[in-house]
Amino acid sequence: MRALVFDNALAFRPRHPEPPASSGDTLLRVRQAGICATDLEITKGYMGFRGVLGHEFVADVVQSPDRDLVGRRVAGEINVVCGRCDLCLSGLSAHCRNRTVLGILNRDGAFAEFVRLPAVNLHPIPDSVDDDAATFIEPLAAAFQVLKQIKLDGRKWVTVLGDGRLGLLVAQVLRDANCQVRVIGKHPVKLALCEKWSIRSRPLADIVPRHDQDVVVDCTGSAAGLETAVQMVRPRGTVVLKTTAAAGAPLNLAPVVIDEINVVGSRCGPFREAIRALAEKRIDVASLIHRRMKLEQGVEAMELAARPGVLKVILSCVGA
């Protein structure tokens, strides 16, 4: 099959082996997939991953032990879990000690013609959510996770730091939850999008951190982001870390202690809520699409997605 593979270098392979049939897995034919910061970080060494990249996708079910799924259009949760370890048994299966993660950890991803996932990971997509919107289900679910982790009641000053792909989803999710969120970013085009959504925004260059925000959600994807977030949040406030960066950087944690700041890491989130929000058109994702490219142009597409200011690049995975 055709696939975009990272193995020390990124390459498009026209004849990559299809994912092996392991017991219970469902075979999916990928329609399209989105490139995200995690994919770019992997090509810089994050997670030490080797294999087919890609974890944000919409696909058709080709074969499945769950007959009801065959022929359905689906999105897929990316953590494949054991169901037996202490974390799975205590309801924290996203943190399963034996997990594989689609296109990130020991499992080939969706930048390919075919991908496999267990049937329990799959969510059928209603007709009211088109393929473009469906490609955003995974990252939008991750944005909804912020609402699961922090209480917004009475938190008046909430900032999303970073106007990238994920930051703009998190900002919309917070606004959808009736939060008066503000976005701090670097790119006029993206800050203009915020204006379109009636979300307040400011250029980073205009900001003097004042230790006055109740909540800061760091979506910068840079090591410097946490440092800025810590300077912006008030004592006893909350910083949510939404992005990972491959490069470790020295970090001064003294302000976290002195100001008694809550630092909350945040990763994958609820697919059902993301699908419902898209079906009800509460979140605008169409404006986040920068360009659509073919799987064959995957290397070029990843280079484009890495450029500053570029939003979602979508890879079309269906054959010619």
Part in contact with Zn ion (CB under 5 A); list of ranges 74-82, 106-114, 178-186, 273-281: 74-82
From the CB of 237, what's the least distance to Zn ion, in Å?
27
Interface pick for Zn ion out of 47, 62, 82, 152 (rule CB under 5 A): 82
- Biggest CA pair distance of the chain: 59
Task: Give the nearer residue to Zn ion in terms of CB position, either 135 or 297.
Answer: 135
Query: Does residue 102 belong to the site contacting Zn ion (CB under 5 A)?
Result: no
Cα–Cα distances in angstroms (integers) from residue 283 to residues 133, 169, 171, 237, 259, in the given order: 9, 8, 10, 27, 34
CA angle 197, 198, 204 (to 5 degrees): 95
From the CB of 198, what's the least distance to Zn ion, in Å?
26
Contacts of residue 306, Cβ cutoff 8 Å, sequence gap at least 6: 40
Question: What is the CA 274 to chain-centroid distance, rounded?
Answer: 12
Task: Give the nearer residue to Zn ion in terms of CB position, either 61 or 305.
Answer: 305
Burial class for 233, CB neighbours closer than 10 Å (0-12, 13-18, 19+): buried
CA angle 244, 165, 128 (to 5 degrees): 125
| 14-73: contacts with Zn ion (CB under 5 A) | 36, 38
Nearest residue to 226 via CA among 180, 265, 169, 190 = 265
Q: Which residue has the tokens 């939060």?
A: 179
Task: Give the nearer residue to Zn ion in terms of CB position, either 36 or 74.
Answer: 36
Query: Does residue 226 belong to the site contacting Zn ion (CB under 5 A)?
Result: no
Size of the site for Zn ion (CB under 5 A): 7
Between CA 109 and CA 111 the distance in angstroms is 6
Query: Does residue 121 belong to the site contacting Zn ion (CB under 5 A)?
Result: no
Structure-token pair, residue 294: 């073919």
Interface pick for Zn ion out of 62, 85, 152, 279 (rule CB under 5 A): 85
Query: Does residue 193 belong to the site contacting Zn ion (CB under 5 A)?
Result: no
Interface pick for Zn ion out of 52, 96, 140, 293 (rule CB under 5 A): 96
Task: Give the nearer residue to Zn ion in terms of CB position, either 88 or 313.
Answer: 88
From the CB of 280, what's the least distance to Zn ion, in Å?
23
Query: Does residue 88 belong to the site contacting Zn ion (CB under 5 A)?
Result: yes
Between CA 140 and CA 202 the distance in angstroms is 23
Task: Give the nearer residue to Zn ion in terms of CB position, either 182 or 312.
Answer: 312
Residues in touch with Zn ion (CB under 5 A): 36, 38, 81-82, 85, 88, 96
